[in-house]
Amino acid sequence: MKTFRSLFFFVVSFIILGAAQPVAAQNPPEISRNEVRVEYPFLIRFEMFATHQRQIESVTLVYGLNGRSCQQGSARQAVDTFASSSVFAIWEWDLSRSGALPPGVTVWWQWEMVDSLGNVFTTERQEMLVEDENHEWQSARSGDVTVHWYVGNNSFGQALLREATSSLNRLENELGLPAVEPVALWFYPTASDVRQVIFNVPEWTGGVAFPEYNVTVLGVAPGELEWASQIVPHELTHLVEGMLTFNCRGIRLPTWLSEGLARYAEGEADEAELALVELALQNGRLPTLRSLADGFSAFTDSASLAYTQSGQVVQYLIDTHGAAQMNTLLQTIQSGQTIDAALMSVYELDTNSLDAAWRTAVGYAATPTSEADAVALQSTPTQVATIALGGVPLLDTPTVPPSETPLPTETPPPSATPTATPTMANTAVPAEVAQLSTPSAAESELEADVVPEETMPMWVWWGGGTAVLLIALILFFRVRQRGGV
């Protein structure tokens, strides 16, 4: 009996120790570096140094942005590394290729590693605020409105803050469009400075709105408060539109409504611009409202006419039916209804009948001539330039695209409103070549000191344990046959 107990204890102990070994082998890698460096506005560099008791076979960076989305979207980027027990992974996100990010956006990231046994390890999620550290920014805040500027004194910043808060109040009181989320405005002193940090925008761009982040970037210098009184309400309107109409059904505002609201928010239209609209009506050359649903002309004169026309149609709706109905219209679109269905539900008009009603109200024929349609087709060869949204190919999560506001000119050029595209348009990131940088001397020394722990494969332990168990059982039965137990 004593012999049997000894054998039984030996077998159980061996199996327990063998089973415990693979568990100990699954300790996660040790991370001695995990950071992000921003070289605004050109790139974001992710770096990670890890050591492990076994070889790390592959490294993947998982990252994303904090933009408004329907689901938690992320991008995955495999990083080239040599299989080793210590790895230094680095990957650069080239914003000049994938699309600019406005300051104030939060980027998050995690590293995913797979070792030689197939174990997958994921680091904790980290976040970092993307800022333009090339300037010494000043900030002022009132409620949910924050303004940032770096040229000008405190009174200039306070004037910008007053303009922003009063613009939001007017949006809510006169258009029935409340800002339901905080907004941030970043002021550079010139339009040229805006174009240096927000890539691929037209030369006439003076401001760009990023509705998915509730952020707008504008070019306004001290002494240009009159210009601020136009561009600030215009861009804030786009941010508020984004808040109120965001949906996961791919439904967006038509360009004429989006830009018409923004133009209405600027205040009274210029007499010269109104005269051009009236002349086009008289000549039967004013394009149909429906032709302005998916972008305006790339030609300055035609686009300027479209902005004024759109603003006048929006003013007609508000003057005739009130601001509350406009809010209802946006809510209806947000619920997933197309523009025609939403217009019919709220105003008992579709796009064509609204166009006819407005033309009749201003004293002209309800239906534009065929010549107007021909002019619209000829003068709209391409849609106005757009900006890639954040550059991250997130997972099928639609957002409101950014809008560009023109500089003040005698004949204002167009504000570009790109088409809505899937989170933060699904703009594909160019296939980056993952870089394997040479570790620093300290890292090389650390890597040299790391001696990988040789771990016996799991099958050896379990196979050996099973063999010992079989031998013990054979011995046990032989002893019993001899009457030894």
| Banded model confidence at residue 407, pLDDT cuts 50, 70, 90 | low
pLDDT tens digits, 125-182? 999 999 999 999 999 999 999 999 999 999 999 999 999 999 999 999 888 899 999 9
Q: What is the pLDDT of residue 418?
A: 34
Q: What pLDDT is recorded for position 369?
A: 52
**For residue 205, what pLDDT is reported?**
80
For residue 186, pLDDT beyond 50: yes
Distance linking the first and last C-alpha atoms of the chain: 5
Average pLDDT score over residue span 378-397: 34
State how far the Cα of 448 lies from the Cα of 251, in Å rounded to an integer: 57
Partners of residue 219 on adjacent β-strands: 188
pLDDT > 90 in the chain, percent: 60
Check residue 99 and give its pLDDT. 87
So what's the pLDDT on residue 64?
93
According to the model, what pLDDT value does residue 216 have? 97
Mean pLDDT calculated for residue range 348-367: 93
Q: Which residues contact 404 (CB under 8 A, 6 or more apart)?
A: 201, 202, 205, 207, 208, 209, 384, 385, 387, 415, 416, 417
pLDDT of residue 453: 37
Of 10-19, 169-178, 233-242, which has the strongest mean pLDDT?
Answer: 233-242
pLDDT reading at 399 higher than 80? no
pLDDT tens per residue, range 43-102: 999 999 999 999 999 999 999 998 888 766 789 999 999 999 999 999 999 998 888 999
CB neighbour list of residue 7: distance below 8 Å, 6 or more residues apart:
472, 475, 476
- What is the per-residue pLDDT for 200? 82
Q: What pLDDT band is residue 299 in, cutting at 50, 70 and 90? A: confident
The predicted-structure confidence for 462-478, as pLDDT tens digits, reads as follows 455 555 555 656 665 56
**Mean pLDDT for the stretch of residues 105-124:** 96
Cα three-residue angle 269-275-278, rounded to 5 degrees: 110
Mean residue pLDDT of the chain comes to 79
Model confidence, pTM: 0.73
CA angle 399-402-408, nearest 5°?
160
Q: Is the pLDDT of residue 14 over 80?
A: no
The whole-number pLDDT of residue 476 equals: 57
Judged on CB neighbours under 10 Å (0-12, 13-18, 19+), 195 is: buried
Whether 356 shows a pLDDT value over 70: the answer reads yes
Q: Which amino acid is at 196?
A: Q
The pLDDT assigned to 93 comes to: 96
| For range 304-329, the mean pLDDT | 94
Q: Write the CB contacts of 248 (distance below 8 Å, at least 6 apart in sequence).
A: 70, 397, 398
Given a cut of 60, whether residue 392 has pLDDT beyond it is no
Position 301 pLDDT exceeds 90: no
Q: Which of 1-15, 60-74, 316-330, 381-395 has the lowest mean pLDDT?
A: 381-395
The answer, yes or no, to whether residue 25 has pLDDT greater than 80, is: no
Binned at pLDDT 50, 70 and 90, residue 278 comes out as very high
